[in-house]
């Protein structure tokens, strides 16, 4: 290791790995430090239940990963990353055994909403069909940095995206379309009546039509391992099992990049109360299952989908999110589920399956949501409990223990509410820079926010190499 590194990165989640790889491939000397024994952060894979059942402790399906400009700029497939798409990408079942779907086909997706809303859905997504690359580059961009690649679509998209999802849902006449749109917006873990929740819903829909919602073969760890392998190929070094508590514990470097929560960064780097106004949101209660067979969904389309939303109506979804945000126990939770083994048999022994589900709960909630979650699952997959071989539970305290970035169990590393929805972690021309000229933040607390796409790390790396060039 040289006496003075160009950059030290703290935290080996997807953003930390991306930032380190971006800097290393531009010729900078880089060392990365991770507190856990393996890289990955929110993109890891472990045997949480029984031997041979490989679960993703956090993210499992990656709509923005396969379409990420950051990942696309690196040869990750050469380092073992292989995407597996399901068809449909998403199913949103209803009590009558039907389901709304998102698939690569806009027409098929529109028709699943019923004749009363098929045309409305087509008109909603038509301006962006076939333009994923420019939409992704502009939506996942650094604020204030440059002009958008496609100004017309950027402005048109922005005018829709800034609206609450409940406003856009008024365009639809039926419960299927409204439920599907509310479920997409609910990935923000905030009420769908909040600012910019339409943007969350719309970008997920467009991602499904462009590239699907794929899973990586072998689990989410494959993404992190590919990034780590590429980083090492570029000359970067990785040190695991090293918990950083103070900046002076790290090797001398010209820049320090943190894939941590803003509050952890302030504590480690001695930034005082710099992020005291940054606030964290609601949490989730997550269960990983080892199953003896596939989930017995009543809706046929749900049996092959990688992701299944259990609402079913917009009103139920909004009520569940409002309960979590206002600190009330879950009664009828909205569920987001993932079943990667429907397309990747390597995740479980022959004939067996892994299954992943979470419902929204208040931050730091210490209750047990197993019963209310499984009651919801049984509504749409009767006999589900009979297939359960083992369960692994993680409520807010366990999630926070697994990943220090999940403050209070907030897997988004920051609430989507008010201006913080679009100005993370605070109003700044360069949101990755801090009051310390050599310290930068690259976690999902920075734009463009949560998700395994590496774009926060990509943009932070750009800010860092501009500083390093200036110093040189």
Return phi, psi of residue 283, to 5°. Answer: -120, -165
CA-closest candidate to residue 259, choices 229, 283, 224: 224
Partner residues linked to 90 by β-bridges: 102, 307
pLDDT at 2 exceeding the cut of 90: no
- The pLDDT assigned to 407 comes to 96
- The pLDDT assigned to 118 comes to 97
What percentage of the chain carries pLDDT values higher than 90? 88
Token readout for 218 is 């072998």
Domains of the chain: 5-82+216-277+414-471 (3.50.50.60)
Confidence of residue 145 (pLDDT cuts 50, 70, 90): low
For residues 330 and 361, is the Cβ–Cβ distance under 8 A? yes
- The pLDDT assigned to 146 comes to 67
Token readout for 372 is 């209310």
Q: How many CB atoms lie within 10 A of CB 114?
A: 17
Between the alpha carbon of residue 234 and those of residues 231, 238, 258, 442, 457, the distances in Å are 5, 12, 20, 20, 16
The arithmetic mean of pLDDT across residues 443-465, rounded, is 94
Return phi, psi of residue 3, to 5°. Answer: -65, -30
Whole-model pTM?
Answer: 0.95
Confidence of residue 427 (pLDDT cuts 50, 70, 90): confident
Q: What is the 3-state secondary structure (H, E, C) of the chain?
A: CCCCEEEEEECCCHHHHHHHHHHHCCCCCEEEECCCCCCCCCCCCECCCCCCCCECCCCCCCCCCCCCHHHHCCCHHHHCCCEECCCCCEEEECCCCCEEEECCCHHHHHHCCCHHHHHHHHHHHHHHCCCHHHHHHHHCCCCCCCCCCCHHHHHHHHHHHCCCHHHHHCCCCCHHHHHHHHHHHHHHCCCCCCCCHHHHHHHHHHHHHHHCCCEECCCCHHHHHHHHHHHHHCCCEEECCCCCCCHHHCCCEEEEEECCCHHHHHHHHCCCCCCCCCCCCCEEEEEEEEECCCCCCCCHHHHCCCEEEECCCHHHHHHHHHHHHCCCCCCCCCEEEECHHHCCHHHCCCCCEEEEEEEEECCCCCCCCHHHHHHHHHHHCCCHHHHEEEEEEECHHHHHHHCCCCHHHCCCCCCCCHHHHCCCCCCCCCCCECCCCCEEECCCCCCCCCCCCCHHHHHHHHHHHHHHHHHC
- The pLDDT assigned to 3 comes to 76
Token readout for 37 is 């024994």
User: Using alpha carbons only, how large is the chain's radius of gyration in Å?
Assistant: 21
CA-closest candidate to residue 178, choices 222, 232, 128, 124: 124
Determine the longest span between alpha carbons in the chain, in angstroms: 67
pLDDT at 437 exceeding the cut of 70: yes
- The pLDDT assigned to 295 comes to 98
The arithmetic mean of pLDDT across residues 19-44, rounded, is 96
The arithmetic mean of pLDDT across residues 436-459, rounded, is 95
What does the pLDDT look like over 353-386, one tens digit per residue? 999 999 999 999 999 999 999 999 999 999 999 9
The 8 Å CB, 24+ separation contacts for 372-375 are 372/330, 372/331, 372/332, 372/333, 373/285, 373/287, 373/333, 373/335
Confidence of residue 435 (pLDDT cuts 50, 70, 90): very high
- The pLDDT assigned to 144 comes to 57
Confidence of residue 422 (pLDDT cuts 50, 70, 90): confident
What does the pLDDT look like over 255-313, one tens digit per residue? 999 999 999 999 999 999 999 999 999 999 999 999 999 999 999 999 999 999 999 99
The arithmetic mean of pLDDT across residues 137-143, rounded, is 74
What does the pLDDT look like over 32-78, one tens digit per residue? 999 999 999 999 999 999 999 999 999 999 999 998 999 999 999 99
Token readout for 169 is 């849902």
Query: CA 206 to CA 202: how far, in whole Å?
Result: 6
- The pLDDT assigned to 419 comes to 83
Query: CA 301 to CA 340: how far, in whole Å?
Result: 15
What does the pLDDT look like over 184-231, one tens digit per residue? 999 999 999 999 999 999 999 999 999 999 999 999 999 999 999 999
Partner residues linked to 358 by β-bridges: 286, 336
Q: How many CB atoms lie within 10 A of CB 382?
A: 12
């Amino acid at each position: 290791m040289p006496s003075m590194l160009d950059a030290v990165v703290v935290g080996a989640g997807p953003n930390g790995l991306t930032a380190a790889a971006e800097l290393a491939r531009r010729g900078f000397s880089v060392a990365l430090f991770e507190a856990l024994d393996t890289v990955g952060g929110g993109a890891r894979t472990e045997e949480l239940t029984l031997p041979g059942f490989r679960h993703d402790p956090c993210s499992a399906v990656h709509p923005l990963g396969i379409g990420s400009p950051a990942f696309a700029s690196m040869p990750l497939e050469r380092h073992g990353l292989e995407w597996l798409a399901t068809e449909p990408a998403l199913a949103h079942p209803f009590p009558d055994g039907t389901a709304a779907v998102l698939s690569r086909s806009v027409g098929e997706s529109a028709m699943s909403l019923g004749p009363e809303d098929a045309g409305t859905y087509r008109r909603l997504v038509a301006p962006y069909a076939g333009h994923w690359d420019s939409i992704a580059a502009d939506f996942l961009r650094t604020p204030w940095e440059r002009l958008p690649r496609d100004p017309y679509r950027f402005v048109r998209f922005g005018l829709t995206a800034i609206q609450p999802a409940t406003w856009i849902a008024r365009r639809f006449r039926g419960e299927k379309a409204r439920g599907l749109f509310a479920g997409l917006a609910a990935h923000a873990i905030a009420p769908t009546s909040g600012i910019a929740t339409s943007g969350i819903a719309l970008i997920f829909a467009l991602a499904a039509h462009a590239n699907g919602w794929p899973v990586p073969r072998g689990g989410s760890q494959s993404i992190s391992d590919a990034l780590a392998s590429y980083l090492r190929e570029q000359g970067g070094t990785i040190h695991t099992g090293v918990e950083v508590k103070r900046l002076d514990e790290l090797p001398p470097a010209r820049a320090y990049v943190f894939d941590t929560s803003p509050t952890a960064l302030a504590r480690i780097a001695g930034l005082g109360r710099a992020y005291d106004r940054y606030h964290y949101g609601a949490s989730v209660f997550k269960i990983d299952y080892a199953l003896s067979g596939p989930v017995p969904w009543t809706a046929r389309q749900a049996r092959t989908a990688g992701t299944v939303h259990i609402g079913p109506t917009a009103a139920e979804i909004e009520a569940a999110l409002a309960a979590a945000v206002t600190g009330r126990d879950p009664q009828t939770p909205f569920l987001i589920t993932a079943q990667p083994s429907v397309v990747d048999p390597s995740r479980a022994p022959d004939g067996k399956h892994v299954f992943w589900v979470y419902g929204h709960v208040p931050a730091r909630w210490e209750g047990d949501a197993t019963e209310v979650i499984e009651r919801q699952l049984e509504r749409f997959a009767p006999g589900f409990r009979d297939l359960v071989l083992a369960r692994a539970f993680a409520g807010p305290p366990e999630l926070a223990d697994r990943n220090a970035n999940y403050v209070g169990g907030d897997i988004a590393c920051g609430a989507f509410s008010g201006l913080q929805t679009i100005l993370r972690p605070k109003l700044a021309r360069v949101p990755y820079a801090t009051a310390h000229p050599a310290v930068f933040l690259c976690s999902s607390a920075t734009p463009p926010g949560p998700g395994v796409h590496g774009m926060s790390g990509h943009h932070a790396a750009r800010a860092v190499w501009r500083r390093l060039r200036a110093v040189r």
